[in-house]
Amino acid sequence: MTIVKKGNRNKAILKNGREYVAPRVFDTKRRAKAWLARERMALAGGVDVQAGRQRVRIMLPQWLNVRAETVAQKTLTADESLMRLVPTWLAAMSVSAVGQREIARSIEELVGAGYSAASASRYRASLSGFFAWCVREKYILANPVDGVRVPTQTSEPTEMRPWSESGLESAFDT
């Protein structure tokens, strides 16, 4: 393992053969070793660690370009809404850093902003499609949307209540 002591910190250097992949600095040697082990496992599994560091906002348009060729127009329109619905803090994260916690928080924010449970479910489905594409392209190991549920809606949906015939006649008379 390549861990270099720098003052009171430990610098882990990840290499793939002779190719320099990435460095990272840790407070403890144990954390540096754990990070190196995880990154080496990812490299052995064929995941491109550098590509996984791309931001969500950069990867979304690439996914939509691929998606345009593979889905119906209505589905593409729903997926394109991710560009405006994904919170800025999530869009600024790297694809590999997004976990179930961040996905759940973004869905909760959407519901908190007044969107219906059906809209939140569609948002979740689009996010799942995006991260499934990231897994397929080997940017990340697992889809962080798997296992995240859409919160149930607490308010009753607003429905139209038509007038009865007698109520309509009395309103017409007045």
The domain locations on the chain are 3-46, 52-136
pTM: 0.65
Q: Residues 22-63: pLDDT tens digits?
A: 888 999 999 898 888 878 877 777 676 677 788 999 999 999
CB atoms closer than 10 angstroms to residue 36? 19
Which of 1.10.10, 1.10.3470, 1.10.150, 1.10.357 is the CATH number of 52-136? 1.10.150
CA gap 42, 121 in Å, rounded: 30
Name residue, tokens 């939140």: 120
Our CA dihedral for 11, 16, 20, 23, rounded to 10 degrees, sits at -20
Q: Residues 95-118: pLDDT tens digits?
A: 989 999 999 999 999 998 988 888
Locate 106 and state its tokens.
């973004």
CA gap 9, 32 in Å, rounded: 10
Query: Can you name the residues that pair with 23 across neighbouring β-strands?
Result: 13
CA gap 10, 35 in Å, rounded: 12
SS3 81: coil
